[in-house]
């Protein structure tokens, strides 16, 4: 089980997902996907590097940046949009939005009513929309009490 209590995907299935997305199943890509499974969502590149070091499978920072870029581009990883600041990443398992506490910075997943992207119609735009993210901001119950 991972940090969120969901079933872990084994390396063989992770490798199959990489290949299905048109990527080679490299050691670096598998390691980053494993860390996201084990640690949970909303990790920065620096946190991924630290987690890889802590589990005894270090990768150079530049390699981690390359991996998250490739995984996000090929739809295996989502960039967690919480507004300005460092980019955060998570596995792209289901489309959802986020609640961010203004006091403590806690990030909570919020189910998308539609369940797929894009879930909002922007009306007239000069292009094709393939993603819409909603950020809910407020004060979490723990900070409010």
- The answer to whether the beta carbons of residues 137 and 105 sit under 8 Å apart is no
The gap between the terminal CA atoms of the chain, to the nearest Å, is 31
pLDDT digits (tens, 9 = 90+) for 50-69: 999 999 999 999 999 999 99
pLDDT digits (tens, 9 = 90+) for 66-89: 999 999 999 898 888 777 777 888
Segment 25-42 mean pLDDT: 91
Q: How far is CA 70 from the centre of its chain?
A: 13
- The answer to whether the beta carbons of residues 34 and 56 sit under 8 Å apart is no
pLDDT digits (tens, 9 = 90+) for 95-114: 777 888 999 988 887 887 76
**pLDDT > 80? residue 14:** yes
Q: What is the pTM of this model?
A: 0.75
Look at residue 66 in the predicted model and tell me its pLDDT. Answer: 96
Cβ neighbors of 120 (< 8 A, separation 6 or more) are 132, 134
């Amino acid at each position: 089980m991972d940090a969120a209590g969901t079933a872990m995907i084994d390396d063989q299935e992770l490798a199959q997902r990489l290949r299905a997305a048109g990527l080679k199943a490299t050691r670096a890509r598998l390691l980053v996907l494993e860390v996201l499974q084990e640690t949970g969502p909303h990790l920065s590149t620096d946190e991924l590097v630290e987690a890889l070091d802590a589990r005894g499978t270090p990768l150079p920072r530049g390699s981690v940046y390359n991996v998250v870029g490739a995984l996000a581009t090929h739809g295996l990883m989502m960039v967690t949009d919480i507004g300005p600041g460092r980019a955060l990443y998570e596995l792209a398992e289901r489309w959802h939005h986020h609640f961010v506490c203004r006091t403590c910075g806690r990030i909570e997943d919020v189910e998308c009513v539609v369940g797929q992207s894009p879930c909002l119609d922007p009306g007239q735009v000069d292009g094709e929309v393939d993603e819409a993210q909603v950020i809910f901001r407020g004060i979490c119950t723990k900070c409010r009490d």
